[in-house]
Amino acid sequence: MPPLLQLDRVTIRFGGLTAVSEVSATVEPGELVGLIGPNGAGKTTVFNLITGVYAATAGDIRFDGQPIDGLKPYAITRRGIARTFQNIRLFPSLTVFDNVRVAFHLHLAHDAVHSLTRGPKFFEEEARLREQTRELLGIFQLERVQDEPARSLPYGDQRRLEIIRALATRPKLLLLDEPAAGMNPAEKVELMRLIQFIQEKFQLAILLVEHDMKVVMGVCRRIHVLEYGRKIAEGTPEAIRANPAVIAAYLGTEAATPRHA
C-alpha cells in the first residue's frame, strides 16, 4: 500500500527565499506524525503546500497515490485532507454551531435549489446534520456555547472548535498547526489526549506541528524535523532526541533570532 501522503523533494521559493527546500516525507494511513522545527523552519509553509494554498516551485505531492499539486484548496479538502490554522481562522461572525455545520458541505445532498424547494428530504438532512454537528461539538463540550458567535469564544475553545470544524469534512488526514499554542501545560496534556482519542475514533492520520518537544514526543511515534526549510531528521522520538543535528538546531535557535523576524 502506498503512503497516504507523500511529499517528494518539494520546494517553494518566495523571491530569493527558499522557504521549503527538497523536503521528502510520508504519512501512513492512521498514523500520528510530528512535524517540528524552530521558528521560520517552514512547517506552516509545508501545510500550505499540502493544502494547495501555495503551489510548489518543484517536486510533487501525492495523496492516496494521486498527485494533488495544482488542485484548488477545496478540491484537496474533497480528497480527504483537512487542516487547522496557526493563526486561528474560524468564521468569526457565524455561530459555533454553524462553523461546524458549514464544514459538512462536501457531504451535502442538498444544494441551492433544495434550499428553496425545502421538501421533506431537505429537512431530514438538516436534522441529521444538526445531530452530527452536536455530536462533534460534544467531543470538546462545546454544545453549551453552540449559539455564540465563534469570535466570542475564549482562545483555547477557538482552537478546539477549529479542530472539530476540520473533522466535519470527514478527512483521512488532519493537519494540525500548533493546536496547543497559548494553552497551559495541563490544557496541553488534555488536548493531546483528545487528539489521540480523535485519531482512533475517526481512524485518522494526523500531521501535528507543535513547538513543545515534550508534547510531540509524548504522542507521536514518528517525527520529521525541519530547519531552514530543509528536512534534517526523521525518526522515533528517542532517535530524534538523540540526533545531534536536531540538538544543534534547537540549541542554535535559542540563542539566535528566527530568520524571518
Partner 1 sequence: MLPRSQLWLLGALATAGAASAVSGRINPYFLDVALGVAINVILAVSLNLINGFTGQFSLGHAGFMAVGAYTAAMITTTLASRLGWPPVALRWGLFPVALLAGGLFAAVAGLAVGAPSLRLKGDYLAIVTLGFGEIIKVVLQNVKAVGAASGLYGIPSYTNLFWTLSGAAVTVYVVWGLLNSTFGRGFLAVADDEVAAEAMGLNTTRYKINAFVVGSFFAGIAGGLYAHLKGYISPTGFDFNKSIEIVVMVILGGMGRHVGVIVAAILLTVVQEPLRKLGDWRMILYALLLIGLMLARPQGLFSWSLRKPRTAAS
Ligand X SMILES: Nc1ncnc2c1ncn2[C@@H]1O[C@H](COP(=O)(O)OP(=O)(O)OP(=O)(O)O)[C@@H](O)[C@H]1O
Number of residues that bind Mg ion (CB under 5 A): 3
Using CA atoms, how far apart are residues 197 and 55, in angstroms rounded to an integer?
Answer: 33
Helix axes 120-139, 185-201, angle to 10 degrees: 140
Per-residue three-class SS string for 176-209:
EECCCCCCCHHHHHHHHHHHHHHHHHCCCEEEEE
Identity of the residue, 101 or 222, whose beta carbon is nearer to partner 1 in the bound complex:
101
Using CA atoms, how far apart are residues 21 and 11, in angstroms rounded to an integer?
Answer: 4
Residue recorded with cell 483555547: 156
Identity of the residue, 34 or 40, whose beta carbon is nearer to ligand X in the bound complex:
40
First to last CA, the chain: 42
Q: Which of 9, 14, 124, 184 binds ligand X (CB under 6 A)?
A: 14
Residue recorded with cell 538546531: 249
Using CA atoms, how far apart are residues 214 and 194, in angstroms rounded to an integer?
Answer: 16
Q: Smallest distance from the beta carbon of 90 to partner 1, in angstroms?
A: 6
For position 254 contacting ligand X by CB under 6 A, the verdict is no
**Per-residue mark of binding to ligand X, 65-104 (x: CB under 6 A):** ---------------------x------------------
Positions touching partner 1 (CB under 8 A) are 51, 53, 72-74, 77-78, 82-83, 85, 87-94, 98, 101-106, 108, 110-112, 114-116, 118, 122-123, 125-126, 129, 149, 151-152, 155, 158, 165-166, 168-169, 182
**Per-residue mark of binding to ligand X, 24-63 (x: CB under 6 A):** -------------x-xxxxxxx------------------
